[in-house]
Structure 1
Amino acid sequence: MYWIVLIIAGLFEVAFATCLGKAKVATGAAATYWFVGFLLCLAVSMFLLVKASQVLPIGTAYAVWTGIGAVGTVLVGIFFFREPATFWRLFFLTTLIASIVGLKWVSN
């Protein structure tokens, strides 16, 4: 159950990173809306991370949370913002995913 909460927290981290990126390039009211979305996603992500870390080891929870955010943000960049999907980016993304899975595997 708490692993699911942690995964959802990581997805909200992807959302707040995406909103922050969009707020940076938007202007006027759109920039404000993206910034409000950033703040809301940040609050939800942090709340869920706190809930998950009450049961899961904090080191593992934090590493998995940031890993999901990093992987998700890179994938959003590749699929939605036309960032390059070079061999080395995908290689290191794969090693990051393997590390996240490994941390979950060795945690109680």
Structure 2
Amino acid sequence: MNRSWGLVILAGLIEILWAMGLKYSSNWISWAGTFLLIYLSFVVLLKAIKKVPVATAYAVFTGIGTAGTVLIEMIAFGEAFSWTKVFFILLLLVGVVGLKLVTSESGEKEGAA
């Protein structure tokens, strides 16, 4: 994995934090932290899309955020566990990994012209 894909993953992990902040913020300090995390996640994502196609990067970013938020909610915050949720999270992750595997960086050539 290269630096650009690492940045996409990092942005997705930060997205998990700010998504939870949207639900659990209750004072101006926690709201300020949530907005800072939103800003930071998009700054990191913008750095990544210099080398990774924007559509793929954004799909992976939101997939990580979605799956991670659901899992953290179930594990740490008492959201109801459901095998159906787990199945769809796994399906989402298969799509994210598939996109990563079939996408080349902007600087790479997919075939000889």
Q: How high is the TM-score relative to the length of structure 2? A: 0.87
> Partners in 1 of 2:74 and 2:12 — Cα distance?
18
Q: How does 1:1-108 map to 2 (within 5 A)?
A: 1-23=3-25, 26=26, 31-108=27-104
Q: Kindly report structure 1 stretches of 4+ aligned residues shifted beyond 6 Å.
A: none
Distance (whole Å) between structure 2 residues aligned to residue 87 and residue 36 of structure 1: 35
Identity in percent:
37
Q: How many residues align?
A: 102
**Cα distance in 2 between the residues matched to 1:44 and 1:35:** 14
Quote how far apart the aligned CAs of 1:86 are: 0.5
Task: Choose between structure 1 and 2: higher helix proportion.
Answer: 1
- State TM-score, norm by structure 1: 0.91
Q: How large is the Cα RMSD of the aligned pairs?
A: 0.8
Bigger-Rg structure (1/2): 2
